[in-house]
Amino acid sequence: MLIETQCTETRTRLRGLLESQGRRFHEVEHPNQTYFVVPGQAAAPQVEGAFRVHAMESPFPLASRELRPERSVISVNGFHFGPGHFPVIAGPCSVESEEQILRTAEAIRAAGGQFLRGGAFKPRTSPYEFQGLGEEGLQLLAKAREETGLPVVTEVLAEGDVCLVAAYADVLQVGARNMQNYALLKALGRAGRPVLLKRGLSATFKEFLLAAEYVMAHGNPDVILCERGIRTFEQHTRNTCDIAAVPALQEMTHLPVILDPSHATGRRSLVAPLARAAAAVGADGLLVECHPKPEEAWSDGAQSLTLEEFRGMMEALEPLVALRESFAVKA
């Protein structure tokens, strides 16, 4: 059962009642709304006040479309994720230098991209690979934002870095390898920034949505889901792009669902075709890696588009983005 209220007095009464009944419950405070998530079925609380009771059994009540039949719109600096919008987040895998990030950001803006991405803290499979520039990378991203106006999306690797990264970033990315880092997810509930949550390498939809639920249950309603490919037996592509995840998740949750065709394939030549597939399948946006010189990139060069290829991808997407409203999962 889930109870929602906007009234402070009702909230106090509801809490008192649940406590007096000895019920286990989780109180969630979102801007303008308080929720009591009460596991299992129970009789509606008998207290005075303005509240709504949802007799739900979803394991992820806050993220589910049962609670919010309308699909949510998440707004960041005047850009929107959700029905009617198709924002493109682009940039290098890693921030490497001022010249690299500024040149990339300018090309993204000129091509019509809305967000700049770039890793300052990198989750690398090998401890001997480049781990990111850290705070210096964040400063370079902030500088690129100043010059271009593009809001910044960047990954936070560890719970202890949330405040630092939130001081620079507009959206906090949780990488695939951290999707089930519950201490990090809880801290992001209190970060005061929208979260871009990537699907774990072998996560089911349910596990993915439960990870989003962690962030929401700890106070943050703004979670954007990102399908980035899953591990299968196929070796030709880095991962297997689960395109069905987009409409499937949109049926299960009101949260926006975007696609990352770069990590989903690991191959530059496959990024634009899958970006078109994302628009056609009704995704709520894209995350794409691009680099001024992919062959010299410090990470993920093989899947990074050149800046010219990025412009070409954006041009080819235009007619599909215009069409997508007719077949995207409805609000």
Give dist(CA 94, CA 258) in Å, integer.
20
List 71, 198, 291, 324, residue binding ligand PEP (CB under 6 A): 198
For residues 212 and 197, is the Cβ–Cβ distance under 8 A? yes
Does the footprint of ligand PEP cover residue 263 (CB under 6 A)?
A: yes
CB of 70 to ligand PEP, least distance (A): 28
Residue 283 phi/psi, 5° resolution?
-60, 160
For residue 26, the partner it binds in ligand PEP, Mn ion, none, with Cβ less than 5 to 8 A by kind, is none
Give the C-alpha distances (Å, rounded to integers) separating 146 from 93, 149, 151. Answer: 20, 6, 9
Can residue 93 be called a binding residue for Mn ion (CB under 5 A)? Answer: yes
Contact flag: residue 176 with ligand PEP (CB under 6 A): yes
Shortest Å distance, C-beta 175 to ligand PEP:
3
Q: Rounded to the nearest whole angstrom, what is the least distance from the CB of residue 137 to Mn ion in the complex?
A: 13
Residue 3 or 245: which CB sits closer to ligand PEP?
245
Token code pair at residue 95: 């921030």
Closest CA relative to residue 49, chosen from 15, 21, 7? 7
Of 90, 282, 300, 317, the one binding Mn ion by CB under 5 A? 300
Least distance CB 289 / ligand PEP (angstroms): 7
Instruction: Rounding to the nearest 10 degrees, give the CA dihedral for residues 292, 297, 298, 303.
Output: 120
SS3 state at 288: strand
Quote the tokens at residue 53. 């009771």
Taking CB under 6 A as the rule, does residue 112 contact ligand PEP?
A: no
Using CB under 6 A as the binding rule, whether residue 266 contacts ligand PEP is answered as: no
Backbone angles phi, psi at 318, to 5 degrees: -50, -55
Name the one range near ligand PEP by CB under 6 A: 41-49, 78-86, 127-135, 169-177: 169-177
The verdict on 93 binding ligand PEP (CB under 6 A) reads yes
Q: Give contact residues for Mn ion (rule: CB under 5 A).
A: 93, 300
